[in-house]
Amino acid sequence: MDSVDIEVLKRSARWLDQGHRVLLVTVVKTWGSSPRPEGAMLVVRDDGAVVGSVSGGCIEDDLIDRVRQRGIGQMKPEAVTYGVTADEAHRFGLPCGGTIQLVLEPLTKASGIAELCGAVEDGRLVARTLDMETGIAGLSAAQATNGVAFDGKRLLTIHGPRYRMLVIGAGQLSRYLCNVAAGLDYQVTVCDPREAYLNEWDVPGIKVVSTMPDDTVLDMKLDERCAVIALTHDPKLDDLALMEALKTPAFYVGALGSRRNNAARRERLKQFDLTDAEVARLRGPAGIHIGSRTPPEIAVSILAEVTAAKHGVALPRELQIEGAKAVRDIARSTVASCDISSRNFTQMESVAPG
pLDDT in tens, 113-130: 999 999 988 888 899 999
- Going by C-beta distance under 8 Å and a sequence separation of 6 or more, which residues neighbour residue 156? 127, 128, 129, 130, 146, 148, 149, 150
Is the pLDDT assigned to residue 351 strictly greater than 60?
Answer: no
How many other CB atoms are found less than 10 A from the CB of residue 100?
A: 27
188, 208 contact by CB (below 8 A): no
Cα–Cα distance for residue pair 83/97, rounded to 1 Å: 8
Mean pLDDT to the nearest integer, 31-52? 87
Q: Do 306 and 268 share a structural domain?
A: yes
**Is residue 352 situated within a structural domain?**
no
pLDDT single digits (tens) 25-41 = 999 998 766 667 889 99
Contacts of 341 (CB under 8 A, 6+ apart): none
Let me know whether 185 and 90 are in one domain.
no
- Please check whether residues 58 and 173 belong to one and the same domain: no
Q: Same domain, yes or no, for 189 and 116?
A: no
User: Which residues make Cβ contacts (< 8 Å) with residue 269, sequence separation at least 6?
Assistant: 239, 242, 243, 246, 279, 282
218-262 pLDDT, tens per residue?
A: 999 998 889 999 999 899 999 999 999 999 999 999 999 989 999
What is the CATH number for 303? 3.40.50.720
The pLDDT of residue 184 is above 70: yes
Domain ranges, residue 11: 3-159
pLDDT at 263: 93
pLDDT at 151: 95
Say yes or no: 58 and 37 in one domain: yes
Q: Quote the number of domains for the chain.
A: 2
The domain boundary residue, chosen from 98, 129, 159: 159
Q: Are 282 and 246 in contact (CB under 8 A)?
A: yes
Domain boundary among 275, 294, 310: 310
Instruction: Give mean pLDDT, residues 133-149.
Output: 85
In this predicted structure, the answer to whether residue 346 has a pLDDT above a threshold of 70 is no
pLDDT at 103 over 50: yes
Percent of the chain with pLDDT over 70: 84
Q: Are residues 226 and 297 in the same domain?
A: yes
Q: What's residue 354's pLDDT?
A: 45
SS3 44: strand
3-state helix, strand, coil in the chain (%, to 5): 40, 20, 40
Kind and range of the H or E run holding 324:
helix 321-351
Give the three-state DSSP class for 7.
helix
Residues 112 and 177 in one domain: no
> How does 257-275 read in b/e, with b if 16+ C-beta sit within 10 Å?
beeebbeebbeebeeeebe
199 shares a domain with 91: no
Mark whether 63 and 187 lie in a shared domain.
no
- Judgement on whether residues 150 and 287 belong to the same structural domain of the protein: no
Residues 121 and 67 in one domain: yes
Bridge partners of 29, per DSSP, are 101
Residues found in the chain? 354
Average pLDDT score, the chain: 87
Which class for 246: exposed (0-12), middle (13-18), buried (19 or more C-beta within 10 A)? buried
SS3 169: coil
* Spatial distance between the Cα atoms of 201 and 210, rounded to a whole number of angstroms: 12
Would 285 be classed as within a structural domain? Answer: yes
Domain contains 343 = no
Q: CA 60, CA 261: separation in Å to the nearest integer? A: 51
